[in-house]
Structures are given as C-alpha cells and as structure tokens.
Amino acid sequence: MAQTEWIMYVAAAALYALSSAIYLYCLVFKKEERINLAVGSALIGLLFHSVSIALRWIETGHGPYISMYEVLSKYAWFSVVIFLLVQQKYEKIKMAGFIVLPASFLMMAIGSTYSRDIQMIPASLQSYWLIAHVGFASLGFGSVMVAAATAVLYILKERHLNTGVPDSFYDRLPGLRTLDDLMYRFVAMGFFALTIMIAAGAIWANQTWGRYWGWDPIETWSLISWFTYGICLHLRMNAGWTGKRIAWLIILSIFILAFSAFGVGYVYSGRHTDYLTS
Amino acid sequence: MDFNIEKKISAFFSSRKLAIVLITLIVIFSIIGTLVPQQSQLKPDVYDKWKSTHPEQADIFGKIGFTHLFSSFIFLNLAALLVINTLFCTRTMLSSAFRRLNAPQFQKKAYITGLENSSVIKTKKDSSSVISETVSLLKSAGYKVRQEGNCILAEKNRFGILGTPLFHICILFIIIAAVYGSLGRMEGDMRLIEGQTLEEEHGNYMFIDEGSFFNEQHSKFGISLEKFFPDYKDETNTPRGAAGELAIIENGQKVKTDIVYSNHMMTYKGYTFLGNVYGLAPLLLLRNPDGTVYSGSYITASDLDNSGRYVASFQMGDTGLEGGLMVYMTAPLTGKLMESEAEKTPIMFLRIFDNGKQIYDGTLRLNDTIKIHDNYLGFDRTLGFYDIKYWSNFYVVKDDGTLPVYAGVGLMIFSLMVAFFIIPKRIWVEVAGDSGAVEIYIGGRADKFRSLYEEEYSGIVDKIKRLHGAD
C-alpha cells in the first residue's frame, strides 16, 4: 500500500508540475485557450493526490497531520481543491492557477524530501479539536493562497491597462473592481477559517496542557498571521485601501502565514515544533 | 471637561486608523517576543544558560522588559489601548447599525443616480401601478420592502450589519474574560502516590502559581490517586499513554472519580486535573533490631532519560545515611496485564552511603532485606524493599475565565459568519413623473463585495424593465 501511495503522490506532483508548465505557457504566450488543459491536468492530479492521501490515512490510521511529508501534502491538496472550486464559480479567474499550482507542486516537492516513515499518533494528538485545528488551518491557507493569486492577477491586469494596449488575454480577466472584491472575499474566508483554527487549537491546548494560550512561538505566529489578515481587512474596509496597495499586502501576508505554518518549527523550539519538524 | 477636549479624545479613540497602528505595533512586539527568549516559556536552566552566554543582551532585554514581553508594561499598555479603541469603535458601529435598522433611509433620484449600480427606466404605465408592481417584484426576490410616498427601500440580510460590531464586542468580551480568569487563576503540580489522598490546599502543591485575586481560596477537597495505568487503553481499546484514576473526596465521601489521560482531563468545581510526569515509588523501610520501623517512606523515582529506568537519591531519616537507587519495571504493577505477567517483579539497584562512604552496592528484589550497621550505636538495622507503587504529578488548574473565553470565541465565529456571509443588500427606487411618462430611478448596493452584487442587481433591473414594458 505504501508503494501505491507513493506512486500516486509522485503522479499527482507530476501532474501539478505539468499544469504549472501549461499555466506558465499560457501566461507568457498569452494562449488563454490552453488554460482548460492546465485545469484538467490539475484536476487529474488532484484525483491521484486524493487517492494518495486516502491510502496514507488508511495505512497510518490517522489524518495527514503528523509528519512534515503529510502536512505539506495536506496543504497542497487543500490549495488545489479550493482553487478548483473557486475557478468553477468564477470562471474568469482560472488564470490564478499559475500561482496556486506551482505553489502546490513546490509543497509536494519539499514534502517528498522528508521521511515517509509512518509515525504513530502520540496520545496528546488524539483529539477531534486537533482535526478541526489542522483542517481549518489548511482551509485558511488555501483561501489566502487563492487571494494572493487573485492579487497577482490584479497587479498584472492593472499594469497592462496602464499601457493602454488592447490585449484579449488580459481583457478576458475580470475587471479590476471584481478582482479587488474577489481578493477581499478570499481574505475574508481565510480570516474566518484562521479564526476557527486558532479557537480549535486553543481548546485542544487547554485539554492537553491546561491553558488555552501560552504565547508559544507558533501560537504567537498564528496570532501574528491572524492580525496581519485583520489589518488587511481593516485597511480594505476602513482606510480605503483597495486595488494595488491591498493586493501587495495580501501577497506579503501569504509569506507570513507560510512562515507560521512551515517555518516556525525550524526557527524556534517549543511544544508544537516537536511535532512539526518530525 | 471641556466639550471640545472630550470630543477630540472620543475622535482619537474612535479612529479606525488608530486600531491599525495599534495592531501593527502589537504584531511587531509579538515578533520580538518570539525572537527574544521569554523567561516564562523556558525551563529555568535553559533560560539561565542563555543569560550566562549572552549577559549583555540579557541585561538590556531584561531592563526594557523584552524577556517577559507579553506581560511587560509596554505590551500590556498597547493591548489596553487597543481595548479602549475597540470599545469606542464598537460604540460608533453599534449606534450606526441600530440607526440604520430602526430608521429606513429612503433615497431620492439625486442619491440613486450617484450609485455605481443605478438605472433609469421609462414606462408609460401609471405611477401607482408601477410602485405596487415593483414592490411585489422586489418582495418576490427576497427583499424586505418599505414604501414612503413614491420612494421604495428594499433590503435583504439587513441584520448582517450587526456582524462586525458583534465581532468587536466578542473581542472585548474575550479579553475581559481572559484577564478576569488570569487574575483569579491558580495552577499547580500535585504529586500523588497510588492510594494517597491529599487535600487541595497550598502546601500540598509541589509548584503553585496563584493570580492576584485568587486569595488562597482553596477548596480543600481530597484528591486521591486510586490507580495508575502506565499504558492505558480506553473503552475503544485505543492506546492513551499514561493515565491515572482520580477520586475527589469531600466529607469522607467519594463524590467523583474519573480516569485522567492525555486530552481527557477531569473537572470538578471549576478545577481541571491533567496528567503530568510519573514514575515509580519503591517503599524502603529501615527497621530496628526488634522489628519496629525506625525510618522510611515511598521514594519517588523519575525516569529522566526515557529509558524505563527510574532513579532517585534519598536520605534515611536522621541516620546520616544517604542512598541512590535505580528501579527497573519488569512488569506493569496494575491492570490486567499484571496477573498474566505476575512472574515479573521489579528490581532495584541500590547504593547506600554513610557520611559519603559507600557501605552497600547491590540489587534488591521485592521483599528483600539487607543489614545496615549503625556505627554510632554499634548495632545492625534492617533495610527492606517492601512495596512499589506508581506516583504521578497532576497539573491542577482553576481558571474561571476559560468558559467565558470559549463562549466569546464561539460567538465571535458566529459574528464573523454574519459579517462575511450575510451581506446586507439595499435597493432604492424613486418613481417620478405622471401617467404615460413615468421614470423609475433604481439603484442598489451591497455593503461588502459590491462588484459581486452587480449580477443580482442587473437581474432585478431586467425583471423590472420587462414588468413595466420598458426597453
């Protein structure tokens, strides 16, 4: 089963890489008609990826949240799922995949460098709150990833409009106002998911360690990420930050969240990091 | 206070830009708090090691409060300012929301035509039928419709406007509950040997930390470790690691029992009990030549290197004898496994020193005894290994703020759902002109994600056009 799971994983990563390459081709050569190929490739990749995660789940007896290999795979899966759902509803932002798919491929590639050995779930991690915690963390990450991709589209479209040269490729993207509203909406969704992630984590921490908040580095960084997206929403709603300024802030914010999710374990020591750097 | 000063203070604290500045500062300080070692988060030896290896940094950071940043003057003041700012902003948001909910804001064509989504429809119908038909159509589209003269106000999801103020109220509530909880909080480690009962009072904790307002309000009920399971499996046969069966005793009566293990704590009268480190406690008794007990007790030995070997050093009463032991568990002492593996017994490696001189080095099994010569009195005493039990530390917490914090968090999630997913939408209509030349000014707006509302708005306008036979 482990061999099949690994083959599925590699196949999924390869299809995400193919999808990324098609997206890049479409962007560079402005061949929007080929985007469906990229989406199709991502969709087939997602099927392989889902099978890989399901097999791993059956094999280990727990969800994909113990080893870094599993965690990165889970984040990539959520990012692709959310992107595919979003592009189904807002067809015009299919091009946002040129950020989401390479990022997902990168996560899987990095994940593949970690040990694939099965780790038993420690007693302290056997909690439904943990499942909610990691589930909403992934959902939040996927949402803000799509927001960041939409922000990049916004910047590209605005830059093109400033040239004043008509271009069917950019004309097919949604208008600037719509892109602006979409990134706002995805950030709002991400903020909502991150709130539940922190709440579920706090309840789990209280059950395990007897306190719901302890300023542990990863807790603090999750709060920093939450505040960062809170600032994005405040600036968007109250300070008139729309368009390019908020787009750049959203792009910057994804790096802060990515550091909270993946980087903190390497920089700091703490209770969480014992699990995350395994 | 001068009215203008009061107004200026109110305007300062109601500023949403101030909120952004304060949150940004809190983020910056939080990052610093993760970079500078925090005294409260590190083990004392680790923190002292950092201090000794970085004396200059430790001195500077200590003086400016960065080594205890999250309880420092500057951080707490920033948080307090943010609370005040949130309070003022919430007041403004709430009054605006209730004003809007209570007083319908009908608009004329001058306002309507200035909206991003606005249209003018011309029809030859008479104005009264245009108004009544438009009202019916908007109602059928799910809007709550109100009419005043020739103006119509149609609203959908109007209570969504309360989402954002409610979210801010929840933040205030959570902060207040957390502060209340931490001021009256008590946490401590209580060590219990199997079968032992200790009273819930200050002196029985190995470590205790009490909030400023706890005021030694200990409940003084008895806590007993009935049984300890080093490898507990729950009713679904899931391995849960170490577990202890605790009993609460009040007035001599056992009022509650529960098994405490990782992610499964026991609660009683606002106290929570969590499992912590554990070890073995062999009973060593020193007997006089006539068999009476001279000294001895259960000695709590710890597994310091996770090797399954439990070590302890101890003193034997006032005899001047000191010892070191290492006890090896060859079989679980409790639970069903003990019966099936009863042939296995614990082994103790023991060394006894008399004024620093080693006088015994050997192995003892359960119920083994050795002779120890008392040089001062000139006779032998018997040292025996008579029993062995598990001991465990239990982390006991009383924090009356926890449940209110949870309630606040639950309500905050609900408020975010309202704020982000129940978007208030409004359509204003003014019907102008006489029969045969009626103009319908129509405009609509959603409170959030405005461009995404265009599709719904356009659909409604198209229906109105068709309804009135307009182009």
The phi, psi pair for B147, rounded to 5°, reads: -130, 140
Could you report the per-residue pLDDT of B105-131, keeping only the tens digit for each? 899 999 999 998 999 999 888 888 899
Q: Calculate how close chain A gets to B264, using CA atoms only, in Å.
A: 7
In 10 A of CB A50, how many CB atoms? 15
Residue B40: pLDDT band (50, 70, 90) is: confident
Q: Calculate how close chain B gets to A58, using CA atoms only, in Å.
A: 16
Q: Calculate how close chain B gets to A11, using CA atoms only, in Å.
A: 34
Asked if B65 contacts B74 with a C-beta cutoff of 8 angstroms, the reply is yes
State which residue of chain B sits closest to A184, comparing Cα positions: B449
C-alpha torsion sign, points B460, B466, B468, B471: positive
State which residue of chain B sits closest to A235, comparing Cα positions: B20
**B345: pLDDT strictly greater than 90:** no
Is the domain of B42 the same as that of B59? Answer: yes
> What distance in Å separates the CA atoms of residue A106 and residue B145, rounded to the nearest whole number?
52
Q: Is B174 on the interface with A (CB under 8 A)?
A: no
pLDDT of residue B133: 93
> What distance in Å separates the CA atoms of residue A278 and residue B15, rounded to the nearest whole number?
45
**B278: pLDDT strictly greater than 80:** yes
> How many contacts, defined by CB atoms under 8 Å, are there between A and B?
115
Is pLDDT larger for residue A150 or for residue B343?
Answer: A150
Give percent above pLDDT 90 in chain A. Answer: 67
Could you report the per-residue pLDDT of A26-45, keeping only the tens digit for each? 988 888 888 999 999 999 99
Radius of gyration (C-alpha) of chain A in whole angstroms:
19
**Most confident of the following: A95-109, A120-134, B334-348:** A95-109
Residue A125: pLDDT band (50, 70, 90) is: confident
Cβ neighbours of B456 in A, within 8 Å: none
Asked if B319 contacts B296 with a C-beta cutoff of 8 angstroms, the reply is no
> What distance in Å separates the CA atoms of residue B158 and residue B180, rounded to the nearest whole number?
35
Window 35-64 of B, Cβ < 8 Å to A: 38, 40-41
Is the domain of B208 the same as that of B238? Answer: yes
B90-94, B288-292, B414-418: segment of lowest average pLDDT: B288-292
Q: Is B450 on the interface with A (CB under 8 A)?
A: yes
Q: By C-alpha distance, which of A249, A255, A194 is closest to A222?
A: A194
> What distance in Å separates the CA atoms of residue B448 and residue B8, rounded to the nearest whole number?
30
3-class DSSP assignment, residue B141: coil
Q: Do B452 and A185 touch (CB under 8 A)?
A: yes
Asked if B5 contacts B42 with a C-beta cutoff of 8 angstroms, the reply is no
Residue A273: pLDDT band (50, 70, 90) is: low
pLDDT of residue A47: 97
Mean pLDDT, chain A, integer? 91
Is pLDDT larger for residue A253 or for residue A63?
Answer: A253
Window 269-328 of B, Cβ < 8 Å to A: 272, 274
Residue B340: pLDDT band (50, 70, 90) is: very low
Residue B167 lies in a domain: no
Is the domain of B186 the same as that of B291? Answer: no
Could you report the per-residue pLDDT of B411-446, keeping only the tens digit for each? 999 999 999 999 999 999 999 987 678 999 999 999
Mean pLDDT, chain B, integer? 90
Q: Which of A216, A220, A239 sits opposite B20 (nearest CB)?
A: A239
**B243: pLDDT strictly greater than 50:** yes
Cβ neighbours of A194 in B, within 8 Å: none
Q: Is B32 on the interface with A (CB under 8 A)?
A: no
pLDDT of residue B2: 65
Mean pLDDT of the B151-158 span: 95
**CB contact burial B236-252 (16+ within 10 A = b; e otherwise):** eeeebbbbbbbbbbeee
Number of domains present in the structure of chain B: 4
Is the domain of B288 the same as that of B144? Answer: no
Q: Where are the beta strands (DSSP E) in B105-262?
A: 117-123, 144-148, 151-156, 186-193, 197-199, 207-210, 222-233, 239-250, 253-261
pLDDT of residue B320: 80
Is the domain of B250 the same as that of B290? Answer: no
Asked if A97 contacts A150 with a C-beta cutoff of 8 angstroms, the reply is no
Give percent above pLDDT 90 in chain B. Answer: 69
Q: Calculate how close chain B gets to A191, using CA atoms only, in Å.
A: 9
Is the domain of B232 the same as that of B273? Answer: yes
pLDDT of residue A277: 43
Give me the helices (H) in B258-389, please. 336-340
Q: Do B413 and A199 touch (CB under 8 A)?
A: yes
Cβ neighbours of A122 in B, within 8 Å: 241, 262
Window 233-252 of B, Cβ < 8 Å to A: 238-241
- State the angle between helix axes of A217-238 and A176-209 in degrees (0 to 180), rounded to the nearest 10: 150
Q: Which of B33, B412, B451 sits opposite A181 (nearest CB)?
A: B451
Residue A276: pLDDT band (50, 70, 90) is: very low
Could you report the per-residue pLDDT of A198-225, keeping only the tens digit for each? 999 999 999 988 999 999 888 999 999 9
Tokens standing for B62? 């200590």
Is the domain of B226 the same as that of B186? Answer: yes
pLDDT of residue A278: 39
Q: Do A220 and B241 touch (CB under 8 A)?
A: no
Is the domain of B292 the same as that of B201? Answer: no
Is the domain of B89 the same as that of B228? Answer: no
Is pLDDT larger for residue B376 or for residue B67?
Answer: B67
Q: Which of B24, B70, B274 sits opposite A231 (nearest CB)?
A: B24
Window 80-139 of B, Cβ < 8 Å to A: none
Q: Is the ipTM of this complex over 0.85?
A: yes
**A5: pLDDT strictly greater than 70:** yes
Residue B166 lies in a domain: no
Tokens standing for A158? 């605005």
Residue A270: pLDDT band (50, 70, 90) is: low
Q: Is B402 on the interface with A (CB under 8 A)?
A: yes
> What distance in Å separates the CA atoms of residue B48 and residue B313, rounded to the nearest whole number?
25
Mean pLDDT of the B252-269 span: 93
Q: Do A124 and B262 touch (CB under 8 A)?
A: yes
Mean pLDDT of the B228-253 span: 90
- The domain limits of chain A are 1-116, 124-278
**B312: pLDDT strictly greater than 60:** yes
Is the domain of B61 the same as that of B108? Answer: no
Q: Find which of B88, B414, B451 to mutate to test the A interface (most A CBs within 10 Å of its CB).
A: B451
Q: Find which of A192, A218, A219, A260 to mutate to test the B interface (most B CBs within 10 Å of its CB).
A: A192
> What distance in Å separates the CA atoms of residue B442 and residue B465, rounded to the nearest whole number?
11
Q: What is the pTM (predicted TM-score) of this model?
A: 0.89
Mean pLDDT of the A186-207 span: 96
**B332: pLDDT strictly greater than 60:** no
- State the angle between helix axes of A176-209 and A243-258 in degrees (0 to 180), rounded to the nearest 10: 30
Q: Do A123 and B239 touch (CB under 8 A)?
A: yes
State which residue of chain A sits closest to B239, comparing Cα positions: A123
The phi, psi pair for B331, rounded to 5°, reads: -155, 145
> What distance in Å separates the CA atoms of residue B238 and residue B154, rounded to the nearest whole number?
57
Residue B317 lies in a domain: yes
Is pLDDT larger for residue B372 or for residue A123?
Answer: B372
Is the domain of B88 the same as that of B32? Answer: yes
Is the domain of B273 the same as that of B195? Answer: yes
Domain of B188 in residue numbering reads as 181-277+395-411
Q: Find which of B14, B420, B422, B453 to mutate to test the A interface (most A CBs within 10 Å of its CB).
A: B420
B34-43, B153-162, B220-229, B441-450: segment of lowest average pLDDT: B34-43
- Do you know the residue count of chain B? 471
Asked if B430 contacts B151 with a C-beta cutoff of 8 angstroms, the reply is yes
Asked if B224 contacts B197 with a C-beta cutoff of 8 angstroms, the reply is yes
Across-strand partners of B381? B372
